[in-house]
Structure 1
Amino acid sequence: MAWLESHQEIDNHPKLSLLISLTKSSKNECIGILHRLWWWTLSYAENGYLGKYNPLAITTFLSIEEVFYSHLITSGWIDDDNYIHDWWDYVGRFLQVKYKHKPEKWQEIKALYDNRKNRSNNRSKNRQGVSSKNYKPNITNITDITEQNITIPYLEIITDLNSKVSKNYKPTKNTKDLINARIKEGFTFEDFQKVHSNMSAKWKHDPKMEQYLRPSTLYNASKFEGYLNTRVSLSDQGKISPLLDKSQRVFQDFIKEQGDKNAERNQI
């Protein structure tokens, strides 16, 4: 049995607060999911690299939606290159003991860590190597710079779309432009989620309409708000048959009509 270090500082860590904010989950849920992620990694990706696995395999094990995985990256628990953040600090000693009789395996794991550390150091040096004397701010693009400082969850939005329409769209420039335009109009991440849910329920099982479950259609300026406010019936959600759903609406209309007639009689 392997033991994994878990520090009490995690309870009030800023990254945990960000994860809670992004996922709208409780602190207990987030801490539990993080530990299950670490346990899974120790069993199936002990070098800390998750890139060889489809995120769906990981999220299925964790019983979370794929968008949660992207939130783990955004909040810094998983690095951009798909390594568990600071994984070596937590399990380095354990792996060294585990493979003390298999030096080749230990050197393989250590070399992977050393190479990654060197790449990280080189990136830092390159950033520091930009001379401030040669830097000339582009005053004409101050508005653009200000807008770029607004964090727009492009990846989270596309991941949520893919999970609901069973596609593999990417956050391309055109898609980002559409998302950016809707965000500027005041729409939120939750609005995008609602559009994905509404139109997936409406079109996903319709051969003629399924093709329109794509960013260029869903995020269209003249359509987005309408999709956001689309009524989704029980039959759209697959909870009852279309025929039963229609009969239910007829019955509800009948009850409403009778209620209106009774109200008129009472007034007389």
Structure 2
Amino acid sequence: MNLLIDEPPLQVLPSLAKELNSVDKAIMLQQIHYWSLRSTNIHDGHKWVYNTVKSWHDQFSWLSEKTVQRYLKQLEDDSYLITSNFNKAKFDRTKWYRINYDKMTSRRGLTVPTNGTDGPEAKGLTDLTYTRDYTETTTNNTKGQAQPDGLASSRKEIIEYLNQKLGTAFKPNAAKNRAFINARLKEGYTVDDFKKVIDNQIANWGNNPKMVRYLRPETLFGTKFDGYLNPIHVQRTERDQDLDGFAGQWTNF
């Protein structure tokens, strides 16, 4: 497994990590700030972002879901985050967040977002975007030019196959698609394996209205990929068939 950077990283200022006494909480706060800059959800003169804990966990996947929830609560308790609920449905307890920029005015690196900035809201994003583009630098790339991506052609073939099967328009270089496909390819799976997973899950979910929405790269090519590639088919025994026959005879009485 390659643990060196080969995907857009999340950023954080060391001074913010020192202030919060936690690199993880600093990354989370920085990411919430990033989404705030792009949010169109304005209430009480402030920009807000909203997400379930599970969806936040998708962005901070090296942490457990409980840890993400605990860190968000700590940031709220320490007044770095302000929370509210602007959900239309009363039963919807999804929290809305905004950064307490009054507390952050002495911190470098956080620009207070102004009203009217166009951009996506945090919840429901199909493509996770990061705080800046990453330009790879190697010994053969001393001037910082981006190096060719050796997995790009495989990603393109996989996504084109998926789009052809579903009539969709997924992008091979969208951040989440790139991350999931690259991860599986580096684990040794082939392009044909991806196509088989696509075919398997279309057969399993394609006619199910509740499941068809999961025919997307982040679900198909995630951590359950091997299970989708090697589905278990339960074979019926002669005893099962005999029991079926007996049940049918019983209904005739």
Q: TM-score, normalised by structure 1?
A: 0.33
Whichever structure has more helix as a proportion of its residues is 1
Structure with higher RCO (Cα < 8 A, 6+ apart): 2
Whichever structure has more strand as a proportion of its residues is 2
User: Bigger radius of gyration, 1 or 2?
Assistant: 1
Q: TM-score, normalised by structure 2?
A: 0.35
